[in-house]
Amino acid sequence: MRNSRADAVWEGNLAQGHGSVSTASGVLKSAPISWAARTEPSQSVTSPEELLAAAHSACYCMALSHTLNERGTPPTRLSASAVVTFDRADGGWKVTTSKLSVRGSVPGINQSAFADAANAAAQGCPVSKALAGVEIILESATLE
C-alpha cells in the first residue's frame, strides 16, 4: 500500500476567493487554484479538473503499457491526453466526462488489436475506476 498526499489552502468566498495546492513530492508547490479556472480558460491557474486530467492521462498510459505488454506487444512509446469536462448537471456542478485519446508506437500489432487494448485499458485503469459515475470515453486510439 502507498498513500499519496496533497494539501490545499483556500482564502475567501468561492467566486472571488483563491487558493493553492501542493503535493508531498514537491512537484506542485503552492500551485494557484481558483473557481474561475474551473469555469473559464486559464493560462496560469490550475483547477481540480486539470489535475484530474493529468492523473487520468498518466494512469491510462501506464495501464495501456501493461495491457499491451501482457498481450505480448510491449509499446515503444505511448502519448495520451485526457479532457475532463466540468459542467452543470443535476442542479449543480460536476465532472461529467473524461475523454481519452492515445497515440502509440507498438511493434508487431495492428490497428484493431491496438484499439482493443486501448479500450480495455480505458475501462481498467485505476483512475478510471476511481471515476465511477463519470463517463469514460476513448475518443481515439491511433497506432503510429
Residue ranges of the domains in the chain? 6-39, 48-143
The strands making up 18-23's β-sheet, listed across from edge to edge, are 6-11, 18-23, 31-33
- Asked if 76 and 89 touch (Cβ cutoff 8 Å), the reply is no
Give the pLDDT of residue 42: 81
Output the pLDDT for position 43.
Answer: 81
The pLDDT score that the predictor gives to residue 16 is 93
Residue 144 has a pLDDT of: 93
Cell (9 digits) for 61: 498510459
Superfamily of domain 48-143: K homology (KH) domain (3.30.300.20)
Q: What percent of the chain has pLDDT over 90?
A: 94
Q: Using 70 as the pLDDT threshold, list the residues of the chain that sit under it.
A: none
> pLDDT value at position 126?
97
**pLDDT confidence of residue 89:** 87
Alpha-carbon Rg of the chain, whole angstroms? 17
Nearest to 87 by CA among 78, 79, 97: 97
Give the H/E segment covering residue 116: helix 111-124
**Cα dihedral 15/16/22/23 (nearest 10):** 0
